[in-house]
Structure 1
Amino acid sequence: MTHIDLNADLGESFGRWRLGDDEAMLEVVTSANVACGFHAGDPGVLRRACADAAARGVVVGAQVGYRDLAGFGRRFLDVPPAELVDDVLYQIGALEALARVEGTRVAYVKPHGALYNAIVHHEEQAGAVVEAVRSYDPGLAVLGLPGSAWLRRAEEAGLRIVEEAFADRAYTPEATLVPRSEPGAVLHDPDEIAARCVRLATEGVVEAVDGTQVAVRAGSLCVHGDSPGAVAIAQAVRSALEGAGVRLRPFVGAED
């Protein structure tokens, strides 16, 4: 691969509570998954994230999640499909309004946290998120885990799908993410993470927690903005990729 996108979850502060360094991350990434107020973020935080992304030429995506501020969207909710459609539509529309007044737009959708993991296999919820995106704007791209029900159903619905890998998360031998509740689920060493990302981008392979080599396709790499040392990790990943001859560019608006 000669190019890849680098994305991060941003806009996750709330009121006086701060999470991550959005401005610093926006100097590194090419796409920003901006929260939409359901799992994190308030209108002021989200608007600033959109404004800062626009100023730096970073593409904005809507990071939609369960209506679960207290749990940061990391708890599964058995939401009826029709309700989930409405929740996702609401979130995309809210972020779109804030993005538009700052001179940018929502260009793609990425589910967050427990919703992201649920729709790897949960057919009804995957279908609900697809329906919401298609109803809002069938021209939006969608970002997700390779092999997930979410991406399969999105592709069947005619949406543009982009497969994603995670820079700082451990993988199972089945190429899914190790649950955050398990030890070693989140990686912290910038050099180790950067080396993994170079191999993933150039060879399409990542080492799973049991030492097996797992094939992982990805058009975008995610570095979590809320991880300790997130900015240093993102900088190390970008530097290593560019050093290996991999060009960083957003997946939306770029020629394949």
Structure 2
Amino acid sequence: MGTALITGASAGLGLEFAWQLATARHDVVLVARDAERLERLAAQLRAAAGVHAEVLAADLTDRADLERVAERLRSDERPVGLLVNNAGLGLHQRFVTGDLAREEAALDLMVRAVLVLSRAAVEPMVRRGRGAVLNVASVAALTATGTYSAHKAWVRTFTEGLASELHGTGVTATVLCPGLVHTEFHERAGIDQHVPEIAWLSPERVVATALADVRRGVVISTPSLRYRLGSGLLRVLPRAAVRKLNEPRRALGFGE
């Protein structure tokens, strides 16, 4: 993979991606808004893993910042072999009564940024004949829990289409669809975490599964048997039945 660029690298799954890739001897480009937190992480990765860790502080909802990250991905002098589109946020609000500005920011972060950065990454990858894109979605993509589900459904479908388009180029696209994961995400989003422990996954397991699937060229990566079974059920249920699951699934922390 060479160098990996990870968005949302300062916390949650992004932080775990940074550590697992660095300890596997990959150089990393760390992208998030908090420059101070990124610098601390970069220093830790350099000291512990002996890799090159580059900091790129950026707010991906800002067009100028997004373009700076895209330019880094286009660089042929310092090629990126793996893009991890991980940055995201939980709105924890209803669309009709919620803050529209937050909705627009979420759309920019979880849809527009994925679109722009994927395009910036795959162009040089295809020229080189190797590379990979890993987009983080969610099993919520198969539910009907508001705009979060809609964003993640877009990421899932977009990545499947991208994988088809890249077939035969030496470049792959994988979409990661985890369920509930023990990270800062739910706490930051204000989502109730009083859920049976069996429903939760560890970030270590989720990231290890995702990276293994990227190496094997898997298109849809769903960590854990229980979430693979749950995803299969959601795909075959009538959509009217899926919509009726909306309130219970919101209680489990999927979407707003």
The TM tier, using the shorter chain, reads 0.3 to 0.5
- Choose between structure 1 and 2: higher helix proportion: 2
1 or 2 for the larger relative contact order (CA 8 Å, sep ≥6)?
A: 1
With normalisation by structure 1, the TM-score equals 0.40
